[in-house]
Amino acid sequence: MATKANIKRAWELMGMRVHWQSSNDLVALASISADVQALVQQVLKGKIKPAEMARRQAAAAESTDGAPET
């Protein structure tokens, strides 16, 4: 019974491991992007916390009401 439980646990953890690996791959790919790098530099330069930057971006998006930038 314990062996079966350990095998099930290992299988479930392997799924989480795959999830972590794919998530890490996506973050690595996104961080290469020029716009993401510019955003990171803006956050670091202004000593802004990421949550504050997210609030600012949300407010800016609301003020444009989805209209395309010109």
Confirm whether pTM is higher than 0.75.
no
Is the per-residue pLDDT at 34 higher than 90?
yes
CA atoms within 13 A on the CB side of 65: 0
Is the per-residue pLDDT at 66 higher than 70?
no
- Report residue 68's pLDDT band, with 50, 70 and 90 as the boundaries: low
Q: How far apart are CA 6 and CA 32, in angstroms?
A: 39
Mean pLDDT of 27-41: 90
Mean pLDDT of 47-54: 89
CA atoms within 13 A on the CB side of 10: 6
Q: Count the helices and strands in the chain (H runs, E runs).
A: 3, 0
Give residue limits of the domains in the chain: 1-32, 34-64
Is the per-residue pLDDT at 69 higher than 80?
no
